[in-house]
A and B are shown apart, each in its own frame.
Chain A
Amino acid sequence: MADRKIDDATGVETTGHEWDGIRELDNPLPRWWLWIWYATIAFSIGYWVLMPAWPGLHGYTKGLLNKSDRAEVGQELKALDKQRGEGAAMLRTASLEQIEKDPKLLAYAQQVGQSVFGDNCATCHGIGGTGSKGYANLRDDVWLWGGKLEDIQYTITHGVRTGAEGARMSQMPAFGRDEMLQPKQIDDLTEYVVNLSHRPADAAAVARAAPLFEAQCSACHGPQGLGNQQLGAPNLTDADWLFGSDRASIRGQIYAGNGGVMPTWGGRLSPETIKALSVYIHSNAGGQ
């Protein structure tokens, strides 16, 4: 039991607790303080009555105000859907060019496009859209199937080499595997393609391969090797290579004629979403 004493200066009893000579006076609390305590009790009773409060075996007391956080979240989600609907309506009526010219619509489309891209496209093309070997880089200015807004929209909607109607289609022959050319000829053609992209190559081999290129490759890639977007045939004279730029990669491509497949997004994403995605990709690549 603490030792209760009377404080000399004030005549008030101490609580008997002492810390380094400092004693605590047992002064009464002000009365209004007590009232505040009563007020909180009154408040809590009101709260029980009005708000969900007591858990039970089969649910809980609902309270007179019938407040439910779950119902409120449902309403917020509905409001969000409505808001999205308004955005979608804006995208539906505007043309791709109009979307890109209107700063507000552009910002909206970019936001929608970014999240859709992350969900659906980033798996192959990378989160930054830079692609990788066999998957096209969507951030540079090289477009196998065209880089205009409508071209991008078409490619996303119909896909590439899916076999579906309307899909982008082309197939490079497997010159080696299907034994259309001799290995020696493929070696020569490899040197020819290296030379096309302004790199040092075996001049004799290049000379030997010239008629071969003319006969086998120029139909799609063009006599100068500049490519053809109608056929998805890449330009062989620039610094951009989908399947690699070194001799082994080029040789492998002539041998096997790889061609990637991109899914058809038409039925899976709404036309408005594809529009937003097209604008996002187009504006992120600097536009063409």
Chain B
Amino acid sequence: MPTLIDNTRKPDNRSAVSAAERAKGKGDAKGGLYKPRQPIYPKLVHGKWRMVKWALLIATLGVYYITPWIRWGRPEGFPQQAALVDFTGRRFYFFDIQLWPQEVYLFTGVLIAAALALFLTTALFGRLWCGYACPQTVWTDLYIVVERLFEGDRNARMRLDAAPWSFDKLWRKTGKHLVWLGIAFGTGGAWIFYFHDAPTLIRTFWTGEAPATAYVSCALLTATTYIFAGWMREQVCTYMCPWPRIQGAMLDQHSLQVTYLRERGEPRGAHKKGQSWEGRGDCIDCRQCVVVCPMGIDIRDGSQLECINCGLCVDACDDILGKLGRPTGLIAYDTDAAVAARTCGQKAVYKPVRSRTIYYAVALTIVGGLTLWSLVTRPKADLHVIRDRNPIFVRMHDGAVRDGYTLKITNRTFAERRFDVAFEGVAGARLSQPGQTGDKVTLMVPADQVISARVFVTAPAGADLPASVAGRFVAKSGDVTAESKTVFLSGAANPQ
């Protein structure tokens, strides 16, 4: 399979200048050691990928804003919020799932599975995450809608920015920034509802009774949203985000990415109505693909680090081609392999199933499966046993031997439970606890709590046990059983 080498990026005719000259602001008009941002004015475009992006924007923002307001029935005394990260209570609630801090490994599983899903998606379809679902993309899209509302589309915005200050410019700019700040505040404000009871917090937030973390988090997210989506935009992707650097390792020549089909487009040039298409490419150099690009790049230069694969240039080009009466798809989601095959006159082959996608899919299935399995088979109660180490055993006056244990019983259910605790492994063993003694002891564990209790196990005199006996504690409460292995040391290794 021939690989297409991208030589399309020609050196531009910028004259090379030394850093020192640039520092003095002489050689380069952009001036200085530090590069000012080149403003980008993406033009509104219509088309199927734009529609998908609108739909995803509404869906993702909807999930973000609505989720904390979903109520969920739990017993009295427990949060009634479906999704809640309760730091003070040290619990995480998500509908019927309720996690303890020690179960944070399940989050790890979910995060690893999410990363693998991202790898798989990237290997198959390129940077879909960047172009459609990343919060940076979604919020920037939303901010550009607001910008367009106040300042008009691309050309109007460019004119406005170039124009001197006037009342018109002032109210448009002020209005835009106020709405931006409003959205930013809404973003930070929604975030904190995930950590406290939302209906309570929305009241206490305004009365000043909310916890300081709520105000700080809200302010922080308001600031980052406003700065990232309003001011920094594509610079976040180009300079700050590590993902564009990493994703190169997932892509290969069979990954779909937004591609300009050079063999069809070139040689490009202006086209007059009625002119023949013979001997020339389909690209009429109208630059619509450039003006709609939120990253400010020219896709005709080939695949680039900046490209977020959003497909807006596809929509823009298809629109123009349709008006020209040419077949669409000059810029399309395509693979390097297919482009190379067509260039060599072969049939384009798409290979979604290949070694790397298989590896990612298998790893995703294993990690996702294990995480799901651990979540579903998670016991309702846990029993942990800590053996006394000093003394390791105690001899009674009649020769009986008593070992001490500290039992920790976790009750993950929403009801107080009474656990009958027995010890298996030593015949005739008696269990004791302050206030009770017998072949089992009873321990009450409050709902959603863990208790620690000292329990003694006494082997009767003359039991003639080996020095170390394998045994186990069994804690039973109705249909809930928890077990833990331990040993009983009889003192046979330390004769009197």
Contact = CB atoms under 8 A, between A and B. Distances in A.
B311 to A, nearest CB: 26
Contact of A139 (B36, B391, B432, B496): B391
A21 interface: no
Interface in A13-60: 13, 26-34
B12 interface: yes
Majority secondary structure of chain A interface residues (helix, strand, loop or mixed): loop
B22 A107 contact: no
A238 B496 CA distance: 13
Nearest to A127: B390
A287 B433 CA distance: 8
Interface of B: 9, 11-19, 22, 30, 32-37, 232, 235, 239, 388-391, 394-399, 402, 404, 432, 434-435, 444, 451-454, 456, 458, 496
A283 B454 contact: yes
B460 to A, nearest CB: 13
Given A110-B454, A140-B397, A140-B402, 13 more contacts: A28-B32, A28-B33, A28-B35, A29-B35, A31-B35, A107-B452, A126-B390, A129-B391, A140-B396, A141-B402, A239-B398, A240-B395, A287-B435
Given A30-B35, A128-B391, A130-B391, A13 B18 contact: yes
A34 B453 CA distance: 59
A140 B34 contact: no
Nearest to B23: A28
A31 B36 contact: yes
Interface string A270-288: 0000000000001110110
Contacts of A286: 402, 432, 456, 458
B232 A32 contact: yes
Nearest to A149: B434
Nearest to B9: A9
Contacts of A30: 34-35, 37, 235, 239
Residue from B32, B35, B232, B239 with most neighbouring chain A CB atoms (10 Å): B35
A191 interface: no
| For the complex of A and B, 6 pairs with smallest distance between CB atoms | A128-B390, A238-B397, A28-B35, A6-B16, A130-B391, A139-B394
Contacts of B402: 139-141, 286
Given A100-B434, A100-B435, A286-B402, A29 B19 contact: no
Contacts of B432: 286-287
B399 A29 contact: no
A139 B392 CA distance: 11
A32 B397 contact: no
A9 B452 contact: no
Contacts, number: 104
10 contacts: A6-B16, A8-B11, A26-B19, A28-B19, A28-B22, A31-B32, A100-B434, A141-B396, A142-B396, A238-B398
Contacts of B458: 286
Nearest to A34: B34
Nearest to B453: A103
A240 B461 CA distance: 14
A4 B14 CA distance: 17
Given A13-B16, A103-B451, A139-B391, A32 B235 contact: yes
Contacts of B390: 126-128, 130
Contacts of A253: none
B34 A28 contact: yes
Contacts of B9: 9
A101 interface: yes
Interface string A215-254: 0000000000000000000010011100001000000000
